[in-house]
Structure 1
Amino acid sequence: MTDTKNPGEKTLTVAQPKTLSLKRSGVEQGVVRQSFSHGRTKAVVVEKVKRRAHGPEQKSEPTPQQASQAPARPQPPRPPAGGGGGGQRPAGGAQRPAGGPGQRPGGRPSGVVLRTLTEEERSARALALADAKVREAEERKIAEEEARRRKEREAAERAEREAAEARKREEEDRRRVEDEAKRKAEQEAKKRFGDDEAAKTAAPAAARPAKPAGTQPAPTAGARTATPAAGARTATPAPGARTATPEPEEDERRPVRRSGAGPARPAPAPKPAKAAPQKSRGRLTVVTALDAGEERERSVAAFRRRVQRLKGHASNEPKEKLVREVTIPEAITIQELANRMAERAVDVIKLLMKQGQMAKITDTIDADTAQLIAEELGHTVKRVSEADVEEGLFDVADAPEDLVQRPPVVTIMGHVDHGKTSLLDAIRKTNVVGGEAGGITQHIGAYQVKSPSGDKITFIDTPGHAAFTAMRARGARVTDVVVLVVAADDGVMPQTVEAIQHAKAANVPMIVAINKIDKPDAKPERVRTELLQHEVQVESFGGETIEIEVSAKQKTNLDKLLDMIGLQAEILELRANPNRAAEGTVIEAKLDRGRGPVATVLVQRGTLKVGDIVVAGAEWGRVRALVSDTGASIDSAGPSVPVEVLGFNGTPEAGDRLAVVENESRAREVTDYRSHQKREKQAARASGMRGSLEQMMSQLKTSGRKEFPLLIKADVQGSVEAIVGALEKLGTDEVAARVILSGVGGITESDVTLAEASGTAIIGFNVRAHKEAREAAERLGIEIRYYNIIYDLVDDVKKAMSGLLPPTTRETMLGNAQIQQVFNITKVGKVAGCKVTDGVVQRGANVRLIRDNVVIHEGKLSQLKHLKDDVREVTSGHECGMSFENYQDMRVGDVIECYRVETVQRSL
């Protein structure tokens, strides 16, 4: 007897009787099969030795006293039906044979005398019997629980078998229907295609071998084999008989537990095979393929509908109208307007449709239309403009008590080569004019000097060349006093008149400095007289304009000039507030290769300091350094102080106003707005020049205007402005200069690439090409021209543009002749016999054939003969023979005009 895996459950098996053989007396043998885990079993031989009797006589029957003292022996349990012998030991110890004490199984006395049990043995036996009863009760409960679970498992298996049988029946029904349909289709095919084809179709089926009659079909997966009934009893052998016990099958895994108290447990039915999942027979699509094996769930839309149903009509209740203050710029999209009003864009579009305007949600509407829509929907409107970002940037009024006196700003203006820079050099005791190319000023400069009285005066020097009109206008706008320099030996010139007009437009007082009075041909009185023609009346002629005769070369009357400037400044009472954010004007700007963008700024109000965030035009930056006109670095610059500012992120344009802002975000707002405005102006200018495609084509057909492309790089912004302006003035209806790119700084490799792509030349004014750009230009064959004087640049471009003009043709009359006879010569054609009436007739010249004062042919005179000789020309009064190229219709009386066409090259 061995323990199994389940504690408390013990199995005892007795081997079947074997063949009778001789054995020792008093020894009983048996075979017990032990069960182990994983279905393993082992047969073990068990022997039992009986106690021998000590006397020949048998033990007598117990006395009544002994019988009363001996405890009642429980009857051994009857082996269960169908069991393999007495499989379980009876409670109380070893199994005894049937019969009374001292009796053999056959009823004969055994001869063994039983001894009387002691109290300890009786108490131990009573305890053993009690324990056996408790174990029997526990085992009975366990058996009942196992029986209940077995019934449940059998019910579940029965349900599975029924479901499998139902699926099998459905499959058989479906196959039967399909076979029926196939059979009908075959019959139809027989009727349609004839018996021959049907016979061919049935031939493979007839060729199959017939199945033997005695062959039994193989059992299906769901078939059940016959098993003995659960309550059947098997024959139990006699106690002394030996029977053969068959070995268990390999698939027997769980031994059957037998309980002496409970009923016999039937063998479990085999599990049916798990039915395969039904194959979907619908159409295979992407949706079905992706959804295979997935459970359907509620969609988001269904969930939303459920939530709405639960809410009921709460959402349909009218909500309170929210009135908002809507900020409307100059242009706004419909979507943005709807968002600001917290309205639906559909409602806005409906209002536009009522007004007869079809629009999309992304369309842009103007401020007036947006205001009408907002007011229609019950909102209030606040109109703003994009230019509002510049509010408070300039022209903020200062308190009178904060104003202090500031130096005057004086601009020196006049015609070219009248001595403006020389006069300023004499005042500053420098030699600026010596560094200028060609001896003329081509840059605007700002300087500060001290007058004899000790006061400071800021001078702005402007070029006098005709191309620098913008510079002179810029100087007049930022100045307090204009000094008009007129050469005594030259008088009033065109740029002098222009300077007078700029001063009047700026509404600033003017002082006339008549220069070069040291020259022998100087005539100051003529200058005064010529100024009267332009409404400038000097004091010597009874006017209000101060005039001073000076000589820059001899330094004559320079102190008087400075005193007059100081006197004029006192009259003007020039004052400013230095304790505020700086404001100023960019006089000039350039791109320095070592220092980056550099702007010459004239501070007009406040104090500019290092570290300030400044905005100038479309550029902004943080002031990194301030450089005075003498080249010294300073920390701050007050009112009327010219200074070079370093730190811009780009080169500003000359004439831009400069202002200090509080932070970078404000600077970016202002510069973004100005950049947008600048791009719009350029686009409008370009579209205005080009027009539509039809207009461009019509212009090409009618005018045939040619363009001369150029790429210009200069040292300062003012020079670029002057060059572009001068080249634009050179244009005519037939040819014009087109500036592809104009900028400040040296010529870079990207400039060469752009010139190569556009097929243009590069012009450098006071700048040079970088090494990489020079090598790229040589490799690509791009011409780079350098200039230092602006009128040389303008003259060369003018000559190059003249080459684009089509040449003009001019006719020169040679003579006339009249046809007197027409001859028809074989292999030659018609020849006109003519007489030259006036002038001369030349071979190869152009001729016109005139009949009845109507020109009927124009061509060339191919042959000219006098008598029989070919001649080059025939003079008046002589007769000759003429023949024309590709023309034979000549008649007597026709007049022939002979002329020469000359080509004349045009120029701008």
Structure 2
Amino acid sequence: MTDTKNTGDKTLTASPKTLTLKRPSETGVVRQSFSHGRTNAVVVEKVKRRTVTPGDAKGASAAPSPSAASTAPAPAPARPAPQQPAAPQRPAASGQPQRPAPAAPRAGGRPGGVVLRTLTSDEMGARAQALAGARIREAEDRKRAEADARARAVREAEEERERLAAEARKREEDARRQQEEEARRRAEIEAAKRAQDAATISTPQTAAPVAERPAASAPRPQSSAPYSAQRPAGPSSAGPRPAGPSSTAPRRPGAPAPIGGVRRPSAPIESEEPVRAPVRRAGPSAPVRAPAPAKPERAKAAPTKERGRLTIATATGGSDEERSRSVASYRRRVQRLSGKGHQEPKEKLAREVTVPETLTVQELANRMSERAVDVVRLLMKQGVMKKITDLIDADTAQLIAEELGHTVRRVAESDVEEGLFDAPDAPESLKPRPPVVTIMGHVDHGKTSLLDAIRQTNVVKGEAGGITQHIGAYQVTSPLGGKITFIDTPGHAAFTAMRARGAKSTDIVVLVVAADDGVKPQTAEAINHARAAGVPIIVAINKVDKPEAKPEKVRSELLQYEIQVESLGGETLEVEVSAKARTNLDKLLEIIQLQSEILELKANPDRPAEGTVIEAKLDRGRGPVATALVQRGTLYQGDIVVAGSEWGRVRALVTDQGDTTPEAGPSMPVEILGFNGAPEAGDRIAVVENEARAREIADYRTRQKREQAAARAVVRVSGLEQMMSQIKVAGKKEFPLVIKGDVQGSVEAIVQALEKVGNDEVGVRVLLSGAGGVTESDVILASASNAVVIGFNVRALKEARDAAERTGTEIRYYNIIYDLVDDIKAAMSGMLSPERREDFLGNAQIREIFAVSKVGKIAGCLVTEGVVQKGASVRLIRDNVVIHEGKLATLKRFKDDVPEIRAGTECGMSFENYQDMRAGDVIECYRVTEVKRTL
């Protein structure tokens, strides 16, 4: 058996990188010619085509690229194989040297050298896979090469077409330039001939033989100067010409055409010698004289500049001719010499000038299309000294505009909001819409629990302390098939603004009253809000499943607020429900649906959207987010909206279920992403046509807020009573705070609750309030004013915590609003000055004054009432008038110091730093205690 193992052989593998041949190329420059003598140099890349011959294929380490294979000629026929077949030679891999083929077996049949081993099945599979991959890459390369070849053919055809077009243009330009040069040269020859003929005819002489005249073929000097420079001094050729043969006379074939009565020479004059004047003869029989020596030519007149049409050929021509002046230049010269001519006065245009409340002088001049200098001059005539950058009021601007003959239309700055809200709709465009229902009532009466039972959710679980501190909007489907939008409001006393905001944007109010608690203060407040909004009320008596529930008590208590339910013969709808037992929830939804059908709620969905911002917050991941209720129209993703002093483009609309929707119709609550800042809760939202108007409205509202804040800061004193109250306020202690909350509504409720805390001595001053986490700038502001940072349902960022540690600023976190209010109230109570309380101890009467050396005066007294204690406060009373107040320094009984003396006992007393005591004075002894005050 023959051994075929070859230890030096390796398994055949496919190269991971496909070998390709890059076509060599070289660059050249082609000059393009255009009309009027313009040229352009273009760099052209020329691709070399390579022809592969059979001899070149032997040294190639890889198969040629498809592009080269397509252009190569057919290979020569292979030579016949030798008798001994050679072993197959594998192509060398990329980067490896070519291994020599094994030696052929010897003639005797025995193997000579190394014998190849047979490939295993795995190696055969790898080889087949490599060959298949190579075929696929080869097919792809072939397709790519064919596409490149087609693109290159198209490109080369386009370049060839452009080159031919450029060559054609160049030939046309050269032909045109040659024709112009020929015409110019012909004109110069004719001009010189006419000048010579005119000079010959104008000289008085007798007819001379033809032999004595200058030969026509004599050469003349050739010059490229214009005809006006070659014209000799003498009679102008433009004058009357002598009579000559008629231009219409017949002439022999081949004769030159006559010019100005003189026949043209048959050959052009190219002599370089000057043309001499003909020899004068004295008479017919006079001998022929020798020609006189040539006289020096007189100085020729300065050539006049001829004006012609200025073209690119004459401007860029290579001749020495002087460029002629253009018509426009000639006109400017004439106007300059004639004093700019006579200009007709322009008719002044009267314009309608829009004048706002304030504007600058330059803006007024621009609106009138007048010079700012004229406006300033008129202002100076009226005694007003203004620069063009100074502001003037609308009255002054109107006077100036009318003085200049313009009409004025006065506008207010608030006109930017015209047509933004409450545009009327056609009755036929109105369509039914879902009702908006607001849940209102006292705290802990089960409002959110009732809404959770309807929606089958658990919002209460996410609220701190089990009470609702946020306003929310949801949409559910009633048993009758219609949709109902619910707005949930907090019941805490601090959230009055939220309840008022919910009542304003609602159609129906559901008043939730607990059957075991009855009507409470926030219940009465909700009734007042509903009446102020003019919406119907549906009473939902909750917690009827509790043993202590008394629904009849609730019905009777509601009569105090003029609410008479149907069971008592009134018009107000009522229903007994239980959120925990899910009792009569369907009945409540049916009553709401029937009430909405009675109201006939309609809106136009085919118009720009309008709505109200229910809540706003600053989300760290999504940016400013506003919860809005669309009331009219349809809000689409991509609309430009304005809410208060904030504006933006709607990036996304998110429903109460967390799904993204492309549009939101009437009565649909959605979260709007895309505002440049968090708007205030309660702001009306509207869609505008472009960003310019949105920015203008937002800027106007920002200025309004700034002016209102400045007006509140300015103190206006208009009377003695207000002046005294202002003096009290001036010494008032302030408790500075920086408040940050999770939503705008909570921040608003906190600020309003804290403003009610305080008295004439101490109060809260809110430096900054807003939605979002506590930032580093908030901490820096608080440290500059020694304020406390309050975070409600938010936390401070890492940079803010580092800044607080660095500056020693206190940051307090809360998630229940009444805990926050109680802590601030306790902190403010510590700022109150303690109350001083005076406790009477006793009286003593001075009987005698004793003078003691080194001690001073000592009063001998008799304690008449109460007790006298050492170190207590005393008053010296003389004739019922307080003479002195101070401290009791010494209290002695005989020679001993005693702490106190009771009534009926004599003692000796001395005061601190006071000696003016007399017999008969009364000493009143008392003690002062301080009592801590609270708000």
Q: Does 1:823 align with 2:853?
A: no
Q: Which range is displaced more, 654-663 or 855-864?
A: 654-663
Q: Does 1:618 align with 2:645?
A: yes
Q: Give the SS at the match of 1:634.
A: coil
Q: Deviations over 1:663-692 (max 9, x none)?
A: 22222222222222222222222335999x
Q: Does 1:408 align with 2:435?
A: yes
- Using the alignment, how far apart are the partners of 1:791 and 1:405 within structure 2? 42
The alpha-carbon deviation at position 867 of structure 1 amounts to 2.4
- 1:352/1:359 contact within 8 Å kept: no
Aligned partner of 2:925 in structure 1 is: 898
- Using the alignment, how far apart are the partners of 1:554 and 1:894 within structure 2? 83
Give the counterpart letter for 1:798 in structure 2: K
- 1:408/1:569 contact within 8 Å kept: yes
Alignment of 1:133-532 (within 5 A): 310=339, 322-341=349-368, 342=370, 344-346=374-376, 348-349=378-379, 352-353=382-383, 363-375=390-402, 378-532=405-559
Residues 478/672 of structure 1: CA separation in 2 closer, same or farther (3 Å cut):
same
- 1:449/1:457 contact within 8 Å kept: yes
- Using the alignment, how far apart are the partners of 2:445 and 2:681 within structure 1? 25
- 1:335/1:361 contact within 8 Å kept: yes
- Using the alignment, how far apart are the partners of 1:578 and 1:598 within structure 2? 24
Aligned partner of 2:589 in structure 1 is: 562
- Using the alignment, how far apart are the partners of 2:491 and 2:337 within structure 1? 82
Give the counterpart letter for 1:900 in structure 2: R
| TM-score calculated relative to the size of structure 2 | 0.61
Aligned partner of 1:672 in structure 2 is: 699
Give the counterpart letter for 2:868 in structure 1: V
Q: Give the SS at the match of 1:430.
A: coil
Q: Give the SS at the match of 2:353.
A: strand
The alpha-carbon deviation at position 411 of structure 1 amounts to 0.4
- Using the alignment, how far apart are the partners of 1:697 and 1:311 within structure 2? 77
- 1:705/1:735 contact within 8 Å kept: yes
- 1:714/1:766 contact within 8 Å kept: yes
- 1:407/1:640 contact within 8 Å kept: yes
Give the counterpart letter for 1:730 in structure 2: V
Q: Does 1:884 align with 2:911?
A: yes
Alignment counterpart, residue 535 of structure 1, candidates 530, 544, 562:
562
- Using the alignment, how far apart are the partners of 2:902 and 2:449 within structure 1? 68
Residues 529/309 of structure 1: CA separation in 2 closer, same or farther (3 Å cut):
farther
Q: Deviations over 1:372-416 (max 9, x none)?
A: 554455432212122222222222222222211111000011111
- 1:349/1:360 contact within 8 Å kept: no
Q: Does 1:638 align with 2:665?
A: yes
- 1:334/1:348 contact within 8 Å kept: no
Q: Deviations over 1:581-623 (max 9, x none)?
A: 2221111111111111111111111222222222222222222
Residues 358/534 of structure 1: CA separation in 2 closer, same or farther (3 Å cut):
farther
- Using the alignment, how far apart are the partners of 1:769 and 1:708 within structure 2? 21
Q: Does 1:658 align with 2:685?
A: yes
* Number of aligned positions between the proteins: 602
Max Rg structure: 1
The alpha-carbon deviation at position 310 of structure 1 amounts to 4.6
Q: Give the SS at the match of 2:841.
A: strand
Q: Deviations over 1:38-86 (max 9, x none)?
A: xxxxxxxxxxxxxxxxxxxxxxxxxxxxxxxxxxxxxxxxxxxxxxxxx
Q: Give the SS at the match of 2:714.
A: helix
- Using the alignment, how far apart are the partners of 1:705 and 1:649 within structure 2? 38
Alignment counterpart, residue 739 of structure 1, candidates 741, 766, 788:
766
- Using the alignment, how far apart are the partners of 2:913 and 2:541 within structure 1? 74
Alignment counterpart, residue 846 of structure 1, candidates 849, 870, 873:
873
Q: Give the SS at the match of 1:890.
A: coil
The alpha-carbon deviation at position 557 of structure 1 amounts to 2.2
Aligned partner of 1:198 in structure 2 is: none
Give the counterpart letter for 1:566 in structure 2: Q
Q: Does 1:756 align with 2:804?
A: no
Aligned partner of 1:581 in structure 2 is: 608
Residues 698/430 of structure 1: CA separation in 2 closer, same or farther (3 Å cut):
closer
Alignment of 1:54-203 (within 5 A): none
Give the counterpart letter for 2:379 in structure 1: I
- Using the alignment, how far apart are the partners of 1:767 and 1:482 within structure 2? 32
The alpha-carbon deviation at position 896 of structure 1 amounts to 1.0
Q: Give the SS at the match of 1:834.
A: strand
Residues 585/860 of structure 1: CA separation in 2 closer, same or farther (3 Å cut):
same
Q: Which range is displaced more, 576-585 or 474-483?
A: 576-585
Give the counterpart letter for 1:430 in structure 2: T
The alpha-carbon deviation at position 836 of structure 1 amounts to 1.2
Residues 308/486 of structure 1: CA separation in 2 closer, same or farther (3 Å cut):
farther
Q: Give the SS at the match of 2:769.
A: strand
Aligned partner of 2:655 in structure 1 is: 628
Identity of aligned residues (%): 74
- Using the alignment, how far apart are the partners of 1:407 and 1:779 within structure 2? 55
- 1:338/1:348 contact within 8 Å kept: no
Give the counterpart letter for 1:815 in structure 2: G
Residues 519/880 of structure 1: CA separation in 2 closer, same or farther (3 Å cut):
farther
- 2:376/2:386 contact within 8 Å kept: no
Q: Does 1:600 align with 2:627?
A: yes
Aligned partner of 2:757 in structure 1 is: 730
Q: Deviations over 1:131-169 (max 9, x none)?
A: xxxxxx99x99xxxxxxxxxxxxxxxxxxxxxxxxxxxx
- 2:729/2:760 contact within 8 Å kept: no
- 2:612/2:630 contact within 8 Å kept: yes
Q: Deviations over 1:710-738 (max 9, x none)?
A: 11111111111111111111132211111
- 1:410/1:458 contact within 8 Å kept: yes
- 2:513/2:540 contact within 8 Å kept: yes
User: Which 5+ residue runs of structure 2 have no aligned equivalent?
Assistant: 1-292, 297-334
Aligned partner of 1:229 in structure 2 is: none
- Using the alignment, how far apart are the partners of 1:332 and 1:647 within structure 2? 33
Q: Does 1:711 align with 2:738?
A: yes
Give the counterpart letter for 2:521 in structure 1: P
| TM-score calculated relative to the size of structure 1 | 0.62
Residues 905/611 of structure 1: CA separation in 2 closer, same or farther (3 Å cut):
same
- Using the alignment, how far apart are the partners of 1:308 and 1:396 within structure 2? 66
- Using the alignment, how far apart are the partners of 2:603 and 2:726 within structure 1? 55
Q: Deviations over 1:685-714 (max 9, x none)?
A: 2335999xxx99995687511111111111
- Using the alignment, how far apart are the partners of 1:307 and 1:721 within structure 2? 75
Q: Deviations over 1:838-886 (max 9, x none)?
A: 1111111111101001101000111111222211111112111111000
Q: Which range is displaced more, 809-818 or 695-704?
A: 695-704
- 1:699/1:705 contact within 8 Å kept: no
The alpha-carbon deviation at position 437 of structure 1 amounts to 0.2
Residues 636/781 of structure 1: CA separation in 2 closer, same or farther (3 Å cut):
same
Residues 625/518 of structure 1: CA separation in 2 closer, same or farther (3 Å cut):
same
Q: Does 1:803 align with 2:833?
A: no
- Using the alignment, how far apart are the partners of 2:336 and 2:615 within structure 1? 71
- Using the alignment, how far apart are the partners of 1:656 and 1:544 within structure 2? 34
- Using the alignment, how far apart are the partners of 1:381 and 1:609 within structure 2? 40
The alpha-carbon deviation at position 516 of structure 1 amounts to 2.1
The alpha-carbon deviation at position 641 of structure 1 amounts to 0.9
Tell me how large the CA RMSD over aligned residues is: 3.1
Alignment counterpart, residue 901 of structure 2, candidates 862, 874, 879:
874
The alpha-carbon deviation at position 580 of structure 1 amounts to 2.1
- Using the alignment, how far apart are the partners of 2:570 and 2:382 within structure 1? 66
